[in-house]
Amino acid sequence: MPNLPSILSPDFGLLFWMLVAFVIVFTLLAKFGFPVIIKMVEDRKSYIDESLKNAREANEKLANIKSESAAILKEAREHQAQIIKEAMATRDSIIKEAKDKAQAEGLKLLNEAKAQISAEKENALRDIRDTVADISVEIAGKVMRQQLEKDTEQEEYIERLLNEMVKS
């Protein structure tokens, strides 16, 4: 076999220059590349930490808002129930007042009607008495004028006069 360089067993010179190139590249990376990479990683870490902190604060605010809204809703429901209760009490008092007023007014009208009926009845009875008295006086006067001899003739005459008075 000819004398070919072996990949598995490199020469010392090749190893030296490979090592020098590696150290130069590593030094350049350490001086210029790694700080930039580390800064980017730290910036990313601080951004993530800040985002997590903001998310926690947002969750806390949301929890506070939920509890506040629940308290406000509860207070509103209690206020609504109180308003409804007051409205019902007002309605009941207005209805009771109206019933009492209507009952008093009805009783007043009933008493007035009874008084008017009683007065009308008294007037009618007085008129009837006056009319009966006038008729009786008139009949008696006519009976006396005629001087009838028989009782049956008197009764017939009285009957005829009464019929005439009723017709007129």
| pLDDT tens digits along 58-115 | 999 999 999 999 999 999 999 999 999 999 999 999 999 999 999 999 999 999 999 9
pLDDT for res 106: 93
Q: How far is CA 163 from the centre of its chain?
A: 76
- The 3-state DSSP composition of the chain as helix, strand, coil percent (nearest 5) reads 90, 0, 10
Task: Indicate the domain borders of the chain.
Answer: 36-167
Mean pLDDT of 21-50: 94
For the segment 2-30, what is each residue's pLDDT rounded down to a tens digit? 566 666 777 888 889 999 999 999 999 99
Query: Residue 142: its pLDDT value, please?
Result: 73
Report residue 75: phi and psi, to 5°. Answer: -60, -40
Condensed to tens digits (0 to 9), the pLDDT of residues 100-142 reads: 999 999 999 999 999 999 999 999 988 888 888 788 878 777 7
Helix 151-167 × helix 34-146 angle, to 10°: 150
> What pLDDT, on the 0 to 100 scale, is given for residue 2?
54
* Predicted pLDDT of residue 1: 47
Cα 8 to chain centroid distance, Å, stands at 95
* pTM score of the predicted model: 0.41
| pLDDT at 150 (0 to 100) | 65
Could you give the maximum distance between any two Cα atoms of the chain, in Å? 201
Best CA proximity match to 154, nearest among 168, 144, 167, 166: 144
C-alpha–C-alpha distance, residues 19 and 27, integer Å: 12
